[in-house]
């Protein structure tokens, strides 16, 4: 079984070839070497620290007042996670549920702060939701996938036994124009995750699309971007099965071949 470092660059190359059309091909695919995936550029990290100083300070204060136990289930990502106020109650079958959502954040931000917001808590299961803000800011699906690869690589190197789950980019009515890029991003990350062990892709996109192929507006608040209670109930039902399920391990291709 190849190490995570050895496995990163080849899937990125394969996916660049497989998905090199449409939104992902607007710019030349930027293949990132494994070493670069593990260490974010210092200036980029410093800029992100300045932008998110308030959120990071709030997390630090919360940790001082009530330090979370290790070996828990940690959710990290953008405002969709941040606004999930009853997250711990919705997944109360897990004794330790940590919410580290910071509103407006991107998958790029999550990759930069993987050590600050994930590794330090030593969780057994990490669920990340991010990507739609990246697309709204003009990044390509390929760039979002590269950010997820950086995030996963950082977590896996520090916590080799932790399970990693990616929650698909949701189809918000206010971002309906981005649906082609959202579908491409979800497909790329799902394909990438299939190259990993102890990781899974959680499809919340499909049940949030109506029979007419458009986002289900009844799942969203008036801003048509953030979910209402009905949306979070749907997410709880979809994600709950993955949180309760045993670790997902990759099956070697040879094991799938019929016996001669």
pLDDT per position as a tens digit, 7-30 = 444 445 445 444 443 433 333 334
Output the pLDDT for position 22.
Answer: 40
- From CA 205, how far away is CA 227, in angstroms rounded? 13
pLDDT per position as a tens digit, 119-145 = 999 999 999 999 999 999 999 999 999
- The hierarchical CATH code for the domain 4-247 is 3.40.50.1110
* pLDDT mean over 210-224: 97
pLDDT per position as a tens digit, 133-179 = 999 999 999 999 999 999 999 999 999 999 999 999 999 999 999 99
Q: Are strands 125-129 and 163-167 parallel, antiparallel or unpaired?
A: parallel
Output the pLDDT for position 54.
Answer: 92
**Sequential DSSP letters for the chain:** ---HHHHHHHHHHHHHHHT-SGGGGSS---PPPHHHHHS--HHHHHHHHHHTHHHHHHHHHHHHHSPPPSS-EEEEESHHHHT-TTHHHHTTTSS-EEEEE-TT--HHHHHHTHHHHTGGG--SEEEEE--HHHHHTT--HHHHHHHHHHHHHHHHHH-TT-EEEEEPPP--GGGGGGHHHHHHHHHHHHHHHTTSSSEEEE--TGGGB-TTSSB-GGGB-TTSSSB-HHHHHHHHHHHHHHHHSPPP-PPPGGGGSPP-
pLDDT per position as a tens digit, 46-98 = 999 888 999 999 999 999 999 999 999 999 999 999 999 999 999 999 999 99
pLDDT band at 44 (very low <50, low <70, confident <90, very high): confident
pTM reported for the whole predicted model: 0.80
């Amino acid at each position: 079984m190849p190490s995570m470092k050895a496995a990163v660059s080849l899937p990125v190359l394969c996916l660049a070839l497989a998905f090199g059309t449409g939104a992902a091909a607007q710019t030349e695919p930027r293949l990132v070497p494994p070493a670069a995936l593990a260490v974010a550029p210092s200036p980029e990290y410093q800029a992100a620290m300045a932008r998110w100083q308030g959120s990071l300070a709030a997390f630090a204060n919360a940790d001082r007042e009530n330090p979370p136990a290790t070996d828990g289930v940690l959710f990290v990502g953008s405002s969709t996670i941040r606004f999930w106020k009853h997250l711990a109650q919705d997944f109360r079958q897990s004794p330790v549920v940590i919410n580290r959502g910071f509103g407006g954040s991107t998958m790029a931000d999550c990759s930069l702060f993987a050590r600050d917001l994930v590794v330090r808590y030593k969780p057994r299961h990490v669920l990340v939701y991010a990507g739609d803000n990246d697309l709204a800011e003009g990044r390509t699906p390929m760039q979002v996938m590269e950010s997820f690869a950086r995030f996963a690589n950082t977590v896996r190197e520090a916590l080799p036994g932790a399970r990693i789950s990616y929650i698909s980019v949701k189809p918000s009515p206010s971002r309906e124009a981005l649906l082609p890029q959202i579908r491409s991003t979800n497909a790329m990350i799902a394909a990438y995750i299939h190259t990993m062990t102890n990781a899974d892709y959680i499809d919340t996109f499909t049940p949030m699309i109506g029979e007419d192929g458009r986002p289900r507006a009844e799942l969203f608040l008036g801003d048509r971007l953030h979910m209402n209670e009905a949306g979070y109930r749907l997410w709880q039902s979809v994600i709950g099965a993955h949180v309760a399920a045993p670790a997902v391990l990759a099956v070697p291709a040879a094991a799938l071949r019929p016996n001669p």
